[in-house]
């Protein structure tokens, strides 16, 4: 009887209090850990932006060249996918790049002051179209984040319309888990990014014989059916395209990026693009062959001298 009373009045309440306290401590620790999740800034091999401006069209292209290893780690951290409602296009294959590859990322912002939409955007030069691209596609609902200035976007939630020169860069994915490094709350797919002030749209990226062509922005006001002009599929003023990327084993060289509007006006600028394997010039090859022939003749001559010795 005494043992039962002791268990009921002393031991059980103590165990309960201990278990409750432990559970609350573990729960609080887990909450802090989840809230404290952050993405490490990615080291930039080459980062920055270029303005594309003429009298009747303008925009800004941000670029970041990073390692394949850092790119793959960033995809995992943000749970970034390659697929969405808008067709991907033919730039690819849609696979993770090799860790030692260079990964080239680009983002276009139609940042005004000209209010015309951008109907297409291209990236050309270097090894593009010459077999230098080993992987590539679009990062679904994903924009650059400048570590100092914030989200790269033309919308009200944006902190800047152009990525700075580094030394680091971050990404934010609208679908991804909330991270403490995210400058704005998760907005979901680009299709619902307007009310959130992010104003992003996925596009279709096609690999052509000499360039990558980006078009078909279906998630902008001019691309959503039922809105004014909603079949143009343009990148409207103050809207941003999601990141386009390509991987290559070749280091950066200078290429060209261009934008075009429906009236036929264009603007262009230089940006880093994948290089191409160098092939020795014919004269160099002939020189090497000549050296090889001379070397062989010299060896043969020495052997003959040795044989002729008494």
Phi, psi of 206 (to 5 degrees): -115, 135
Task: Give the count of beta carbons closer than 10 Å to the beta carbon of residue 209.
Answer: 7
Q: Which two tokens stand for residue 37?
A: 């999740």
Q: Which two tokens stand for residue 256?
A: 């060209």
Residue from 133, 112, 137, 135 nearest 124 by CA: 133
Alpha-carbon distance 6 to 43, whole Å? 63
Q: Please report, for residues 47, 52, 225, the alpha-carbon distance to residue 256 in angstroms, rounded to integers and kept in the order given.
A: 15, 11, 33
* Residue appearing with tokens 């925009």: 59
- pTM for this structure? 0.80
Q: Which two tokens stand for residue 57?
A: 């069209």
Alpha-carbon distance 46 to 274, whole Å? 12
Name the residue ranges covered by the structural domains of the chain. 1-36, 43-274
Residue from 157, 65, 68 nearest 109 by CA: 157
| DSSP secondary structure, 221-277, as one string | TTTSTTSTTTTS--B-TTEEEPPEEEEESSPEEEEEEEEE-TTS-EEEEEEEEE---
Alpha-carbon distance 257 to 237, whole Å? 18
Average pLDDT over residues 87-102: 96
Cα 216 from chain centroid? Answer: 19
Task: Select the more confidently predicted residue: 61 or 285.
Answer: 61
For residue range 62-88, list pLDDT tens digits in order.
999 999 999 999 999 999 999 888 999
For residue range 286-306, list pLDDT tens digits in order.
554 554 555 555 554 555 454
Cα 156 from chain centroid? Answer: 22
Q: Is the pLDDT of residue 14 over 90?
A: no
Work out the angle at residue 122's Cα, subtended by the Cα atoms of residues 118 and 123, and round it to the nearest 5 degrees: 145
For residue range 119-178, list pLDDT tens digits in order.
999 999 999 999 999 999 999 999 999 999 999 999 999 999 999 998 999 999 999 899
């Amino acid at each position: 009887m005494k043992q039962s009373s002791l268990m009921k009045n002393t031991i059980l309440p103590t165990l309960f209090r201990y278990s409750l306290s432990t559970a609350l401590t573990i729960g609080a620790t887990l909450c802090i850990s989840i809230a404290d999740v952050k993405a490490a800034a990615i080291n930039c091999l080459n980062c920055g932006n270029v303005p594309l401006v003429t009298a009747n069209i303008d925009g800004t292209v941000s670029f970041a060249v990073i390692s394949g290893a850092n790119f793959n780690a960033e995809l995992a951290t943000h749970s970034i996918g390659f697929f969405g409602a808008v067709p991907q296009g033919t730039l690819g294959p849609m696979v993770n790049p090799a860790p030692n590859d260079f990964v080239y990322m680009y983002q276009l912002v139609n940042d005004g002051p000209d209010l015309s939409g951008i109907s297409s955007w291209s990236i050309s030069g270097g090894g593009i179209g010459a077999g230098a691209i080993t992987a590539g596609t679009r990062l679904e609902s994903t924009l650059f984040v400048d570590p100092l200035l914030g989200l790269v976007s033309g919308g009200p939630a944006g902190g800047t319309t152009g990525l700075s020169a580094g030394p680091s860069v971050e990404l934010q994915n609208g679908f991804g888990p909330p991270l403490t490094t995210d400058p704005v709350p998760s907005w979901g797919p680009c299709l619902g990014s307007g009310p959130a002030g992010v104003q992003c749209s996925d596009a279709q990226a096609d690999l052509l014989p000499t360039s990558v062509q980006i078009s078909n922005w279906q998630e902008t006001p001019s691309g959503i059916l039922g809105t004014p002009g909603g079949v143009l599929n343009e990148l409207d003023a103050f809207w941003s395209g999601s990141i386009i990327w390509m991987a290559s084993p070749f280091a950066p060289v200078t290429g060209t990026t261009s934008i075009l509007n429906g009236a036929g006006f264009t603007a262009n600028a230089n940006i880093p693009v994948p290089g191409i394997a160098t092939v020795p010039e014919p004269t160099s090859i002939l020189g090497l062959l000549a050296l090889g022939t001379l070397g062989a003749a010299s060896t043969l001559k020495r052997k003959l001298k040795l044989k002729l010795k008494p």
